[in-house]
């Protein structure tokens, strides 16, 4: 046992042994603390509560905490009824001290990038500092946020520095990256999405794997923390690179007048070695536009460069401005101009079926259209208010009357239920950034 030097000397944990940890899992008495109750933390907390464990969530956002306490969901994938069903086992607080007594702490806080595109680990560090006083012997701490390789080991060292407890000996540390896909329509969710788990030691991995087996059908143990960290970052970089390739294909297909989706769907019939990605107006959210930067940062620190990743990033980053330029070109072909034109943006969230606007390509499209002098409005039933750079964007309804008043409409994010709507035929010009709408005379592809 290590010397205890922390301000709050952790007590000797009476349930520190491996057999007791396993028993507490089996008996559903293991107390789970979730730090960060957002898109990833709340469904996870709900999963453990539904599996019978007592769960206490910690969040710095008092409004979210109040909503969890009242059983009101703020996420598209969590129904109020699901919260109500576990109300006696899932609670939330803004006070870290109320998670004292947890056997497991799972950190699910944001990991954005700074203005100069470096990983912003402030949330991970402040969460680590707030749980340090809770650390006790035998506890398992899991980082679930997406992070550059080395971050979990650094967090473990930070906890050790604050408490004098030794990671891998006095307490256990693991990395279990989140793969949730909000509003997934293909049926993937917490339980059936395989979970990669890497520990600081074999015992850390074993405990974390056993823990996640309670809520995930398949757990994939990794030999090191860094394997788990890097696997997640690589998954999203793989998406970015393939999306950028699809954008290039889409541009070529437009020039050749070949329908790009049909090309991709034909290629997809190959039973092995091909994974379809489809064109769009760019990428958004906190994963695909962010995680490749973590990889690039890790590569730079290691003295290597990743030219392919850099090129893919640049290609995707330019896409929203390409939407603006294409619309200007199409309007010019019709003898009109963007300046003064009424342009409706259809779908503004970063993906279909969610209200999340983080890094949404629509925001850059709106900025570009405004810069070109267009009068922009939007339609997105999941986003009741929209402000871009401090200036509100007018909301427009989806009706024949309102569509007839537009000079152009741009499909940026598919709105569930609108894909096949005949009302798309009403605006004089429709720019379809997803190549999804029926090829009628007023519809042009990006």
Ligand X SMILES: NC(=O)c1ccc[n+]([C@@H]2O[C@H](COP(=O)([O-])OP(=O)(O)OC[C@H]3O[C@@H](n4cnc5c(N)ncnc54)[C@H](O)[C@@H]3O)[C@@H](O)[C@H]2O)c1
Residues touching ligand X: how many (CB under 6 A)? 28
Closest residue to ligand X, Cβ-based?
38
- For position 36 contacting ligand X by CB under 6 A, the verdict is yes
Note every long-range contact of 122-127, with CB atoms under 8 Å and residues 24 or more positions apart, other chains counting: 123/36, 124/151, 124/155, 125/155, 125/158, 127/35, 127/36
- State phi, psi for 371 to the nearest 5 degrees: -60, -30
For ligand X, which residue of 32, 35, 134, 209 counts as binding (CB under 6 A)?
Answer: 35
Closest listed residue to residue 162, CA positions, set 200, 136, 199, 201: 136
- Which of 108, 204, 216, 287 is flagged as catalytic? 287
Residue with smaller CB distance to ligand X, 287 or 346: 287
- For position 294 contacting ligand X by CB under 6 A, the verdict is no
- For position 130 contacting ligand X by CB under 6 A, the verdict is yes
For ligand X, which residue of 21, 48, 53, 123 counts as binding (CB under 6 A)?
Answer: 123
Residue with smaller CB distance to ligand X, 36 or 280: 36
User: Minimal distance in Å, beta carbon 146 to ligand X?
Assistant: 4
Q: Is position 108 annotated as part of the catalytic site?
A: no
User: Minimal distance in Å, beta carbon 121 to ligand X?
Assistant: 10
| Residue list 149-188, contact with ligand X (CB under 6 A) | 178-180, 182
Residues 7-40: b if buried by 16+ CB within 10 A, e if exposed = eeebeebebbeeeebeebbeeeebbbbbbbbbbb
Q: Which pair of tokens denotes residue 386?
A: 């929209």
For ligand X, which residue of 127, 312, 331, 366 counts as binding (CB under 6 A)?
Answer: 127
Residue with smaller CB distance to ligand X, 188 or 274: 188
Torsion 67-69-71-74 (CA) sign = positive
Closest listed residue to residue 45, CA positions, set 105, 90, 100, 103: 90
Q: Which pair of tokens denotes residue 54?
A: 């007592």
- For position 204 contacting ligand X by CB under 6 A, the verdict is no
User: Minimal distance in Å, beta carbon 308 to ligand X?
Assistant: 22
Q: In what order do the strands lie in the sheet with 443-445?
A: 394-395, 375-379, 342-346, 408-411, 430-432, 443-445
- For position 143 contacting ligand X by CB under 6 A, the verdict is no
User: Minimal distance in Å, beta carbon 257 to ligand X?
Assistant: 36
> Treating both helix axes as pointing N-terminal to C-terminal, what angle do 225-256 and 151-163 enclose, rounded to 10 degrees?
150
What amino acid positions are annotated as catalytic residues? 287
Per CB under 6 A, residues contacting ligand X are: 35-41, 58-61, 64, 108-111, 123, 126-127, 130, 145-146, 178-180, 182, 286-287
């Amino acid at each position: 046992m290590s010397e205890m030097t922390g301000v709050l000397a952790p007590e000797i944990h009476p349930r520190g042994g491996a057999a007791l940890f396993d028993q507490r899992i089996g008996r559903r008495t293991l107390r789970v603390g979730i730090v960060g109750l957002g898109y990833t933390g709340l469904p996870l907390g709900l999963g453990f509560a539904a599996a019978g464990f007592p769960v206490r969530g910690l969040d710095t956002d008092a409004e979210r905490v109040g909503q969890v306490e009242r059983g009101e969901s703020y996420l598209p994938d969590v129904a109020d009824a699901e919260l109500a069903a576990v109300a006696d086992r899932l609670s939330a607080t803004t006070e870290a001290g109320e998670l004292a007594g947890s056997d497991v702490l799972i950190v699910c806080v944001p990991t954005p990038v700074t203005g100069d595109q470096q990983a912003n680990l402030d949330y991970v560090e402040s969460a680590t500092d707030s749980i340090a006083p809770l650390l006790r012997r035998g506890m398992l701490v899991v980082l679930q946020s997406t992070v550059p390789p080395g971050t979990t080991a650094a967090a473990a060292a930070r906890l050790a520095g604050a408490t004098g407890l030794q990671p891998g000996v006095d307490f256990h540390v693991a990395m279990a990256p989140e793969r949730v896909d909000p509003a997934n329509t293909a049926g993937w969710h917490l339980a059936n999405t395989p979970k990669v788990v890497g520990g600081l030691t074999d015992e850390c991995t074993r405990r974390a794997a056993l823990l996640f087996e309670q809520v995930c059908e398949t757990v994939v143990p990794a030999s090191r923390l860094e394997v788990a960290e890097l696997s997640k970052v690589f998954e999203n970089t793989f998406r970015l690179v393939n999306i950028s390739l699809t954008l290039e294909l889409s541009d070529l297909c437009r020039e050749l007048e070949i329908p790009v989706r049909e090309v991709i769907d034909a290629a997809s019939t190959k039973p092995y070695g091909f994974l379809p990605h489809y064109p769009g107006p760019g990428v958004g959210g906190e994963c695909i536009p962010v995680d490749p930067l973590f990889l690039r940062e890790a590569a730079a620190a290691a003295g290597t460069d990743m030219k392919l990743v850099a090129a893919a990033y640049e290609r995707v980053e330019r896409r929203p401005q390409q939407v603006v330029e294409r619309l200007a070109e199409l309007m010019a072909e019709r003898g009109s101009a963007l300046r003064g034109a009424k342009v409706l943006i259809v779908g503004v969230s970063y993906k279909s079926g969610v209200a999340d606007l983080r890094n949404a390509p629509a925001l850059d499209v709106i900025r570009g259209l405004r810069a070109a002098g267009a009068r922009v409005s939007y339609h997105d039933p999941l986003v009741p208010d929209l402000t871009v750079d401090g200036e509100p964007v007018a909301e427009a309804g989806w009706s024949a009357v309102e569509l007839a008043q537009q000079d152009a409409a741009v499909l940026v994010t598919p709105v569930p239920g609108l894909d096949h709507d005949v009302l798309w035929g009403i605006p004089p010009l429709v720019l379809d950034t997803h190549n999804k709408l029926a090829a009628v005379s007023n519809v042009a592809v990006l």
